[in-house]
Structure 1
Amino acid sequence: MTERPTMIDLFAGCGGMTQGFVQEGFVPVKAVEWDLAAAATYAANFGEDHMHWGDIAQWPTEDIPEVDLVIGGPPCQGFSNLGSKDVNDPRNKLWKEYLRVVAAARPRIFVLENVQRFMRSSEFQLLLDEADHGMISEYTLTYGVLLAADYGVAQRRPRTIVIGSRIGEIPLPGPTHAKDGVGGLRPWETVRSRIEGLAVKPKTTSLPQTRSTFFGESMPGPFKSSALHFGRQPRELSLARYDHVPPGGGRFDVPDHLLPRCWREKKTGTTDVMGRMQWDAPSLTIRTEFFKPEKGQYLHPQWEADKPQRRVNRVITHLEAARLQDFPDDFVWCGSKTEIAKQIGNAVPVGLAAAVARQVARHLVEIPNAA
């Protein structure tokens, strides 16, 4: 192509998916996000002029530009293992707004991402019906579940990826990495490769007092990524619990007398909570509450059985979580600590987005003049 391909990012969040596509040469000309803090982070990194902050349903069809590509991940709470799994959850209908934009923008390709469970939902079947005889019948779909670790991300995070194309079928990208490097692929990236060398004792527990205005609203930030390396102040009881958890371990390693009653009485399930990461393996999924060890495997990986003084008994910092999501260190952030954590956890891992972007770009180059 003689010009860089243009794209729209829907349900853009803080811009994790956009970051991956921008790294591969795509130019965002429009983005939509209803959450103010996430929209501000996106604007601080990619520009405020093309961000539509608000409800996608309120974006007039006549204002939607034609582009080469539409990307986005409609909210997934209704499909998620952690969600209500309610087929009538109104958030599960937002993919229809995504299709409205596709129909108006007439991209040659669109990419839709969602949680792993999406492919087993009734809404996914409706999506297939729309491709068969509905709003996107011009498009050939390929879809599947991709594991972020298979594409160079130091995180075992599965995501459903759907590629729709009206310039010929586009297969999903093949993996570039594998556990232990089997099959001639590169070994999985590890927690060590992302966070080793960062201070094990953060110097602060707070963000700077910086504020800026986005969309006419005052907002904390933007903050450099280095400002996200702040700690917390856990209770002595929490520290005692952390101290018993080895790498790869979790709540079952904590003595009963230190456990809350709910965990003492629940001997099965939720195996990763109060878990400790492992230096030489990818992390598990970074969720929106990664700063709470009771929510998953979020304790810092440094722990030695015979050297208690070398144990790092804290959860990962926001910076460490952002690195495990593959955000570059020159990315900047807006919002409160909780809002930024939500942005990090909700984002598509940048490396996974970039792998899909490379696959899409290859086909745009091969067929540059498709109408």
Structure 2
Amino acid sequence: MSRPITLIDLFAGCGGMTAGFVAAKGYKPVMAVEWELAAAATYAANFGESHMRWGDIAEVADEDIPEADVIIGGPPCQGFSNLGARDVNDPRNKLWKEYIRFVQHAHPKVFVIENVDRFRSSPDFALLKEEVKPGGLLEEYELTDELLLAADYGAPQRRKRTIIIGSRIGKIPMPEPGFEPTGLLGKQRWRTVRDAIDGLPEKPETTELPKATETYFGKSVPGPFKSTDLHIGRNPTARSLERYDHIPPGGGRFNLPDHLLSRCWREKKTGTTDVMGRMRWDHPSLTIRTEFYKPEKGQYLHPQWDADHSGKRVNRPITHREAARLQTFPDGFVWCGTKIEIARQIGNAVPPVLAQAIAEHLKPYLMKSVPSPRAAERTSRTVR
């Protein structure tokens, strides 16, 4: 293309998908929309405030939606189930209705939806596929869907996500994975926890973010914070530290002696195997969720643990900085919000390297397609 590939990011969060598309070169964000102030401020701090719309997506007027080559985003999975009945005033349909409204008015060549792994097998997705059939709200588009593993695209994390590509310029396949577990099959070896966080200080110097605020959208927000500011620890109890010390790499609550088991763990003999888990240096992490700083929520203990008691053990959960690294955010990325808000942004984000792989894959299709027509020349139906 002789011009940038224009991009709209809906339900943008802190901008993980935008980060990947921008890193792919040639993409220019022209609008982003996000409901949560701290996440919108993080996006603005990294990509600019002028094109970020903080607030309710429904309040973006049709005439304010710019044309764009690509729309990306992940509408919450709930709420699509009644759209097939065309009850578009049902509040549960609101966010999906808005995503489709943006597609109708921006008329992108391609849209990309990211969602939870189970979305692909849900009734909601079945109804989405109905909308690309003749007479549907997205009848111009063809869908490709697949469950992608972030580790296969360069993230040091076994994160599975549903990816949907909608295209009106011909059906587009998913990008081929560039990584695999061993690196012996003509692809690169999976990146590991060691690749991501080795060398960071084992003992965080503080448990708090610096005192700093900035104004975004007329509101004062904590931040922006550098990645080094995010290397913050916690103050676990003596009992928690004793628990951590019993957990080897790859282990979890089943490694605890009876006297350290909570009642619910003692009574629940199966399942939740990653709870109170410790990462392994030479494997990708499990999924980084929004409460990665709580070992009782998953496999979030630091991987360093020598079996020999005279060896070194790092008995703490990973820090915000380590979680951001495992999500593949670059160290130059800055963050806004409280500790909990930033953790939620990190855990909810699409790993930028996964988004970048998708963006690189889309470029040849977008570059050979015809320019999009002006909105006034379109005849496609709009959501009302």
| Same structural fold, with TM-score higher than 0.5 when normalized by the shorter chain | yes
Q: For 1:98-247, what aligned pairs fall within 5 Å after superposition?
A: 98-133=99-134, 134-247=136-249
Range with bigger deviation, 116-125 or 313-322: 116-125
- Matching residue of 2:84: none
User: How far has the Cα of 1:91 moved from its partner?
Assistant: 6.0
SS in 1 for 2:124: helix
User: How far has the Cα of 1:179 moved from its partner?
Assistant: 1.1
Q: Provide the C-alpha distance between the structure 2 equivalents of 1:306 and 1:103, rounded to a whole number of angstroms.
A: 62
Contact kept? 1:76, 1:91, Cα under 8 Å: no
Q: Provide the C-alpha distance between the structure 2 equivalents of 1:78 and 1:282, rounded to a whole number of angstroms.
A: 33
Amino acid at match of 1:314: R
Sequence identity, in percent? 66
Q: Provide the C-alpha distance between the structure 2 equivalents of 1:78 and 1:297, rounded to a whole number of angstroms.
A: 31
Count residues with an aligned counterpart. 362
Range with bigger deviation, 91-100 or 357-366: 91-100
Q: Provide the C-alpha distance between the structure 1 equivalents of 2:186 and 2:92, rounded to a whole number of angstroms.
A: 41
SS in 1 for 2:329: coil
User: How far has the Cα of 1:259 moved from its partner?
Assistant: 1.2
Q: For 1:1-371, what aligned pairs fall within 5 Å after superposition?
A: 1-25=1-25, 26-76=27-77, 94-133=95-134, 134-369=136-371, 371=373
User: How far has the Cα of 1:136 moved from its partner?
Assistant: 1.2
Contact kept? 2:175, 2:357, Cα under 8 Å: yes
User: How far has the Cα of 1:92 moved from its partner?
Assistant: 6.6
Which consecutive unaligned segments of at least 5 residues does structure 1 have?
Answer: 80-88
Q: Provide the C-alpha distance between the structure 1 equivalents of 2:77 and 2:261, rounded to a whole number of angstroms.
A: 32
Amino acid at match of 1:6: T
Q: Provide the C-alpha distance between the structure 2 equivalents of 1:92 and 1:316, rounded to a whole number of angstroms.
A: 37
Which consecutive unaligned segments of at least 5 residues does structure 2 have?
Answer: 81-89, 374-384
User: How far has the Cα of 1:366 moved from its partner?
Assistant: 2.8
User: How far has the Cα of 1:76 moved from its partner?
Assistant: 3.8
- Matching residue of 1:84: none
Q: Provide the C-alpha distance between the structure 2 equivalents of 1:295 and 1:37, rounded to a whole number of angstroms.
A: 23
CA RMSD of aligned residues (A): 1.5
Q: Provide the C-alpha distance between the structure 2 equivalents of 1:308 and 1:268, rounded to a whole number of angstroms.
A: 32
Q: Provide the C-alpha distance between the structure 2 equivalents of 1:176 and 1:334, rounded to a whole number of angstroms.
A: 32
Q: Provide the C-alpha distance between the structure 2 equivalents of 1:310 and 1:228, rounded to a whole number of angstroms.
A: 24
| Distance change (3 Å), C-alpha of 1:335 and 1:91 | farther
User: How far has the Cα of 1:307 moved from its partner?
Assistant: 3.7
Q: Provide the C-alpha distance between the structure 2 equivalents of 1:78 and 1:341, rounded to a whole number of angstroms.
A: 25
Range with bigger deviation, 206-215 or 303-312: 303-312
User: How far has the Cα of 1:90 moved from its partner?
Assistant: 5.8
User: How far has the Cα of 1:248 moved from its partner?
Assistant: 0.3
CA distances 1:238-292 after superposition (whole Å, capped 9, x unpaired):
0000000000000000111011111111111100000000000000000000000
Amino acid at match of 1:117: R
User: How far has the Cα of 1:120 moved from its partner?
Assistant: 1.3
| Distance change (3 Å), C-alpha of 1:245 and 1:91 | farther
User: How far has the Cα of 1:122 moved from its partner?
Assistant: 1.4
User: How far has the Cα of 1:99 moved from its partner?
Assistant: 1.0
- TM-score, reference length from structure 2: 0.92
Amino acid at match of 1:51: M
User: How far has the Cα of 1:311 moved from its partner?
Assistant: 0.2
Contact kept? 2:79, 2:94, Cα under 8 Å: no
CA distances 1:162-193 after superposition (whole Å, capped 9, x unpaired):
11111111100010001112432111000000
- Matching residue of 2:379: none
Contact kept? 2:192, 2:281, Cα under 8 Å: yes
Q: Provide the C-alpha distance between the structure 1 equivalents of 2:93 and 2:180, rounded to a whole number of angstroms.
A: 32
CA distances 1:328-363 after superposition (whole Å, capped 9, x unpaired):
000000000000000000000111000100111121
